[in-house]
């Protein structure tokens, strides 16, 4: 992505304009690698986010509010000790590198002025946030780096702070067109100009290099002139933070200005660098947090699915053994009917099967150590045993298959979680059903925020609700929906309950089709064609006693076939 030194150049100026002279009011650490610093300045509060995440390192102003741990981490405590109440004196970039240094001025316990500095190094998996004093002594770091991790540069409290090793790159702001042309001409034959600019100059990402080469139309002299003009724009601060969007309207990349190699239709111009980064990273951060929080739940479900499938396999084997139960009863009855013709010590006997239409003969194995009567009783015992096996295991298989369907529904709902409340609710459901143990909470438990179903407005103005998990499906169907509302669900496919609020009106075909599309889209049939969706009025839906969350039975229904369309779903107004 283009969150490079060029982007950081514009961002640093924006942050300094907003925060310089402000007072540090609050410091929080909601994530292990993320800091929020609230700065009071110019009559308002500004929340500065600093992240040393390996996947999404960054710094920008944010409006996000995250839940903080009960006990602040050590790094957060160190920042509070040294920076609380301090004035932010400057924000500057190290050359064109992805390193920002933030200065703080305060008064220490002795009444003397004191300077501290917060350095954020945006270096992928090597990113870090480091607090240093005026003598460049490291006071604290969000990530400690010892000799086992890096023999080149330790980052530990008490050590002197040094900048990351230089790669002998050139500051692009100091480069002239002739210098760039010389670099390009002196390269090995066949060398890519894009690779050269990225390798030789500081802070130029590959996509920025591609843009410069695109502006230069691939010719050496023109690329050199495009390079000069590009960085003249940077020097003059003629920047316009821009997002590159995909076809679904989601941000793919972030640029410091309009990159002309992309069509205008794909670009979204933002009012500030922070706004661009906030929008760009919000989805990725949320997706990453959801993935991290659901990973354990996915493992629990996967293990239980494997258990259920193994259980069904074993139960089917027992049923296979029990399929001859009637045969054992026949053996017992024939032995009793002919008991006087059978001698003790016989290993087998051939008797007339008077139950068969053609009165055929049948050979019956016997235990020579037992009397004919004992052999008959043994066959009756085997018959009764396997008859019970057939009854119980058929029931067990039915119950296990229902459990398997339930677990598959959890997997489907985990895949469509949109926020952490959705995950929490699924977690609580798994605790209720005994798949997860309740964790002992020594400290006061935060109240659970109940997640809300998706709400859409159909083309005809009808409200449509879509459940996000099994507990929510039950609430939606039996608490929110009225008896006359329309209820929809994919036929024999795990999916969400969908409710159309009728308000006593007849549902038009357009709304029915849109609701059915939502039912198919929020189901395991999302990627299929001609998905069957059953629908009926809500009063024809009921929950069997003892059924698992989300499990219902319904009657007097009709079926409509739809091919799930994301375009149709996105075109609907979301409430």
The helix (H) or strand (E) run that includes residue 38 is strand 34-41
Ranking 275-289, 291-305, 476-490 by mean pLDDT, the lowest is: 275-289
Residue 156 has pLDDT above 90, yes or no: yes
With CA atoms as reference, report the closest residue to 489 among 457, 407, 481: 481
Kindly state whether residues 202 and 137 are assigned to the same domain. Answer: no
Kindly state whether residues 10 and 127 are assigned to the same domain. Answer: yes
pLDDT reported for residue 445? 45
Please indicate, yes or no, if residue 211 is contained in any of the structural domains: yes
Task: With cut-offs at 50, 70 and 90, classify the pLDDT of residue 449.
Answer: low
Task: With cut-offs at 50, 70 and 90, classify the pLDDT of residue 453.
Answer: very high
Please indicate, yes or no, if residue 22 is contained in any of the structural domains: yes
Kindly state whether residues 125 and 16 are assigned to the same domain. Answer: yes
- Which is more confident, 417 or 102? 102
Please indicate, yes or no, if residue 409 is contained in any of the structural domains: no
Q: In this prediction, what percent of the chain has a pLDDT beyond 90?
A: 76
Kindly state whether residues 476 and 570 are assigned to the same domain. Answer: yes
pLDDT reported for residue 418? 78
Kindly state whether residues 242 and 323 are assigned to the same domain. Answer: no
Kindly state whether residues 95 and 194 are assigned to the same domain. Answer: no
pLDDT tens for 34-69 read: 999 999 999 999 999 999 998 889 999 999 888 899
Categorise residue 359: left if φ over 0, alpha if ψ from -120 to 50, beta otherwise: left
Cα gap 344→328, rounded to integer Å: 19
Kindly state whether residues 206 and 269 are assigned to the same domain. Answer: yes
Q: How far apart are the first and last CA of the chain?
A: 33
Kindly state whether residues 128 and 26 are assigned to the same domain. Answer: yes
With CA atoms as reference, report the closest residue to 95 among 156, 168, 152: 168
Mean residue pLDDT of the chain comes to: 91
Please indicate, yes or no, if residue 408 is contained in any of the structural domains: no
State the average pLDDT over residues 531-546.
Answer: 96
pLDDT tens for 307-350 read: 999 999 999 988 888 888 889 999 999 999 999 889 999 899 99
Kindly state whether residues 15 and 80 are assigned to the same domain. Answer: yes
How many residues can be counted in the chain?
Answer: 575
pLDDT reported for residue 490? 96
Residues 6+ apart with CB under 8 A from 256: 2, 6, 7, 9, 10, 208, 234, 239, 240, 241, 242, 273
Please indicate, yes or no, if residue 419 is contained in any of the structural domains: no
Ranking 44-48, 186-190, 366-370, 377-381 by mean pLDDT, the lowest is: 186-190
The DSSP 8-state label assigned to residue 136 in this structure reads -
Kindly state whether residues 130 and 194 are assigned to the same domain. Answer: no
pLDDT reported for residue 367? 94
Task: With cut-offs at 50, 70 and 90, classify the pLDDT of residue 391.
Answer: confident
Please indicate, yes or no, if residue 300 is contained in any of the structural domains: no
CA 237 to chain centre: 37
Domain count, the chain: 4
Please indicate, yes or no, if residue 294 is contained in any of the structural domains: no
Structural contact between residues 83 and 24, judged by C-beta atoms closer than 8 angstroms = yes
At 406, list the tokens.
């339930």
Residue 444 has pLDDT above 50, yes or no: no
Task: With cut-offs at 50, 70 and 90, classify the pLDDT of residue 85.
Answer: very high
pLDDT reported for residue 441? 44
Task: With cut-offs at 50, 70 and 90, classify the pLDDT of residue 243.
Answer: very high
Q: Which domain holds residue 110?
A: 5-141
Which of 390, 410, 431 corresponds to the end of one domain? 390
Which of 390, 416, 437 corresponds to the end of one domain? 390
Cα gap 223→214, rounded to integer Å: 8
Which of 358, 390, 422 corresponds to the end of one domain? 390
State the average pLDDT over residues 508-524.
Answer: 96
pLDDT reported for residue 188? 84
At 80, list the tokens.
């509070």
The DSSP 8-state label assigned to residue 395 in this structure reads H
pLDDT reported for residue 33? 93
Kindly state whether residues 228 and 333 are assigned to the same domain. Answer: no
Please indicate, yes or no, if residue 292 is contained in any of the structural domains: no
Cα gap 202→163, rounded to integer Å: 14
pLDDT reported for residue 1? 64
Residue 439 has pLDDT above 80, yes or no: no
Q: Looking at residue 39, which CATH number applies to its domain?
A: 2.30.310.10
Residue 203 has pLDDT above 80, yes or no: yes
Cα dihedral sign for 533, 534, 537, 539?
A: negative
Kindly state whether residues 125 and 183 are assigned to the same domain. Answer: no
């Amino acid at each position: 992505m283009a969150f490079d030194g060029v982007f950081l150049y514009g961002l640093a100026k924006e942050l300094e304009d907003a925060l310089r002279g402000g007072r540090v009011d609050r410091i929080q650490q909601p994530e292990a690698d993320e800091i929020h610093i609230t700065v009071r300045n110019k009559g308002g509060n500004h929340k500065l986010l600093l992240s040393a995440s390996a996947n999404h390192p960054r710094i920008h102003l944010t409006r996000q509010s995250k839940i903080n741990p009960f006990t602040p981490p050590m790094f957060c405590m160190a920042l509070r000790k040294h920076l609380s109440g301090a004035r932010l004196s400057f924000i500057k970039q190290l050359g064109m590198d992805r390193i920002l240094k933030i200065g703080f001025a305060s008064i220490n316990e002795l009444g003397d002025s004191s300077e501290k500095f917060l350095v954020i190094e945006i270096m992928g998996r090597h990113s870090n946030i480091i607090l240093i004093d005026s003598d460049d002594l490291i006071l604290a770091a969000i990530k400690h780096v010892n000799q086992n991790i890096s023999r080149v540069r330790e980052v530990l409290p008490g050590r002197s702070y040094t900048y990351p090793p230089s790669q002998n790159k050139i500051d692009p702001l100091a480069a002239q067109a002739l210098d760039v042309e010389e670099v390009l001409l002196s390269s090995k034959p066949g060398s890519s100009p894009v690779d050269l600019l990225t390798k030789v100059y500081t802070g130029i990402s590959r996509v920025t290099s591609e843009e410069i080469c695109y502006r230069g139309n691939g010719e050496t002299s023109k690329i050199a002139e495009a390079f000069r003009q590009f960085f003249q724009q940077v020097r003059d601060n003629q920047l316009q933070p821009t997002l590159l969007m995909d076809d679904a309207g989601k941000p793919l990349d972030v640029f410091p200005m309009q990159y002309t190699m992309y069509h205008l239709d794909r670009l979204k111009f933002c009012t500030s660098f922070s706004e661009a980064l906030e929008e760009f990273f919000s989805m990725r951060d949320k997706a990453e947090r959801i993935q991290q929080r659901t990973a354990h739940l996915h493992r629990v479900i996967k293990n239980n699915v494997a258990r259920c499938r193994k259980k069904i396999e074993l139960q089917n084997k027992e049923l296979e053994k029990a399929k001859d139960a009637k045969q054992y009863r026949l053996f017992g009855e024939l032995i009793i009917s002919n008991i006087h013709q059978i001698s003790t010590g016989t290993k087998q006997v051939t008797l007339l099967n008077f139950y068969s239409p053609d009165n055929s003969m049948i050979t019956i194995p016997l235990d020579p150590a037992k009397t004919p009567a004992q052999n008959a009783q043994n066959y009756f015992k085997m018959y009764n045993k396997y008859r019970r096996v057939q009854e119980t295991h058929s029931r067990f298989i039915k119950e296990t298959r229902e459990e398997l369907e339930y677990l598959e529904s959890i997997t489907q709902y985990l895949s469509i979680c949109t926020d952490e409340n959705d995950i929490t609710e699924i977690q609580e459901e798994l605790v209720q059903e005994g798949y997860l143990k309740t964790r002992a909470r020594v400290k006061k438990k935060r109240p659970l925020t109940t997640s809300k179903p998706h709400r859409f407005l159909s083309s005809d103005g009808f409200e449509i609700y879509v459940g996000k998990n099994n507990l929510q499906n039950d609430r939606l169907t039996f608490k929110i929906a009225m008896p006359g509302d329309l209820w929809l669900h994919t036929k024999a496919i795990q999916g969400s309950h969908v409710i159309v609020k009728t308000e006593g009106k007849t549902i038009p075909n357009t709304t029915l089709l849109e609701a059915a599309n939502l039912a198919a889209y929020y189901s395991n049939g999302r990627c299929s064609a001609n998905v069957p969706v059953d629908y009926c009025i809500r009063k024809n839906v009921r929950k069997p006693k003892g059924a698992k969350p989300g499990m219902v039975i319904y009657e007097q229904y009709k079926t409509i076939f739809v091919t799930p369309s994301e375009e149709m779903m996105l075109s609907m107004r979301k409430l």
